[in-house]
Structures are given as C-alpha cells and as structure tokens.
Structure 1
Amino acid sequence: MVAFEPQSHPERREPPRQNVRGWERLLSIGGGLLLAALGAGKHGQQGKRQLSVGGLLLLRGLSGHCSVKSALDDPLEEIRYLRERVQRLQELVLMAEEVADRTRAPAVAPVPVPPVPPVTPAPAEFSTPIADEFASREQSR
C-alpha cells in the first residue's frame, strides 16, 4: 500500500513558522467563524466578501501564521517561506497524480448492441364478451 511506503511521507524540513499566538490567534478563530457564519447567511456580494474574510481569518487562526504580519517583519523570510510552501504543494500534486494514475481503472471497450427489428402491432380483436353482448343487443332491436 502507498500509505506504508516511506517515500509517501517525506520528512518535514522544519516546523511551520507561527507568528500569531495567544489571544490574537483565538480572536482570529472566533472572528473568522463569526464573519463566515454571517456571510453564509447573506446573498450577494456583501455575503461573499464576509464569507471570504471570515475564511481567511479562520485560516490565520488555525495555522498560526499570518503572511501579512510576516511580510511586514521580514519580507525576504516570508518570500522564502512561501516558496517552500509552493514547492511542497507541487510535490503533493505530483504524488496525487501518481496515485490517481495507479488507481484509475483501464478503459473498457463498449459492447456492441445488435439492432432490434421493428415490432408490428397485432391486429386488434373486438370479439370480447362485452362486444358480443352489444352486438346481440343491436340484433335484437
């Protein structure tokens, strides 16, 4: 299985950088949940904006990393961090494509269906007991 192969779980180079801690992190999670909930209940552009900002705040709080805060502190370090994340995501996409290729079922050729000859309807019979009864009444008149 793929999950037990050592190459399927590459080692992390270093722990993720957290620059959002404590109350700031809790407020980001709470505010993100609140804005996302309010935005999900509204229609239109305002609802979409609230939902987006709420999602970003929630992501900031859950990950503990804020790219804006990091870019203000040390822009070059943030560029290096983002470059590492992009490379890691590219590796994950390649791994997912390999797994999908291995698990994809081979194409099966369709089975040809022989043509069905047209069916001609049988002539209708009107010699039912009810029709006979009506015919006998007509004759008795």
Structure 2
Amino acid sequence: MVAFEPQSQPTRQQPARQNVRGWERLLSIGGGLLLAALGAGKHGQQGTRQLSAGSLLLLRGLSGHCSVKSAMDDPLGEIRYLRARVQRLQELVLMAEELADRTRATPMATAPTAPITPVTPAPMDIETSVADELASREQSR
C-alpha cells in the first residue's frame, strides 16, 4: 500500500457503479455515435481524433460509468479500483505467457507422411480444345 492511502477503507472489487444516468447517458451515446460516424468518414488525424472521442463517449454512455467523474467524486476509491484492474490484467498477462511457454515447450505430434511423388498432367493440345469449344458454340446458335 502507498503511504497516503487510508488502511481502514476496503478496496472496491465489484464492477464500477453507474455514475452517469438519464439525459447525460443518452447524450453521451448520441454524441458518441455522431462523432464516431463523422470521424470514420474522414481521413487523417482529425478523423482519428473524432473517432476516438466518439468511441470514448459511446463507451461512457453504454457502460454508465465515467472514470473522470468518479475520480472527481472519490479520487482514492477510483485509484484503488484502477489499481485492482491493472493487477488483474498483469495476472492475466502472466497466465497467457505461461500458457504460451507450455505450448512452445510441448512438441506437436505430427502424423507420418508418405513420400510425395510429383504428378505430371497428360499433354494437352490447348489450341484444339479451344477451337472445338468455339465450334460447338457456333453450332448451338
């Protein structure tokens, strides 16, 4: 624990509570969709910025939680919550790395293969077959 954090308060492990409700949430969803659509239609940095801002607004509206608003209301609580999420992500990365190491260490069983013999196609007269096809088309008319 860091020295400036009070030890008496339990850490928040449950999902973040909603702090964006009603019209604010609807405006976040609507504004996010509008900005994302406008940004997706543009190229360059301006389009990327609009798409990013729209995506963040859309995420804020859909989840009902705003980390900035929560940090303004209860900064230490939000720091603890974010720290717990980062620790969980670190654990997941370590688990993924261990799994990757185990799969690399285990040799893959390969089925025995028979020797491959090259197959050569029979010689074909291309000009004759094309001429025969053209003749048959003219006869069908």
Confirm or deny a common fold (TM above 0.5). Answer: yes
Q: TM-score range by the shorter chain?
A: 0.5 to 0.7
- Unaligned segments of structure 1, at least 5 residues: 1-12, 109-141
- Unaligned segments of structure 2, at least 5 residues: 1-12, 110-141
Alignment partners' CA distance in 1, 2:27 and 2:102: 44
By how many angstroms is 1:72 displaced?
1.2
Give the corresponding residue for 1:72: 72
Aligned residues: 97
Q: Normalising to structure 2: TM-score of the pair?
A: 0.58
- Aligned amino acid, residue 61 of structure 1: G
1:92 aligned onto 2:92:
yes
Q: Secondary structure of 2:42's partner?
A: coil
- Aligned amino acid, residue 21 of structure 2: R
Q: Over aligned residue pairs, what C-alpha RMSD do you find?
A: 2.5
Shift of the 29–98 alpha-carbon distance from structure 1 to 2, 3 Å rule, reads farther
By how many angstroms is 1:68 displaced?
1.0
Q: Deviations over 1:54-111 (max 9, x none)?
A: 1111121222211111111111111111111111211222222233334447489xxx
Q: Normalising to structure 1: TM-score of the pair?
A: 0.58
Alignment partners' CA distance in 1, 2:95 and 2:20: 31
Alignment partners' CA distance in 1, 2:94 and 2:87: 11
Shift of the 40–17 alpha-carbon distance from structure 1 to 2, 3 Å rule, reads same
Shift of the 107–15 alpha-carbon distance from structure 1 to 2, 3 Å rule, reads same
Percent of residue pairs identical: 86
Alignment partners' CA distance in 2, 1:17 and 1:49: 28
Question: Superposition pairs for residues 39-50 of structure 1, below 5 Å?
Answer: 39-50=39-50
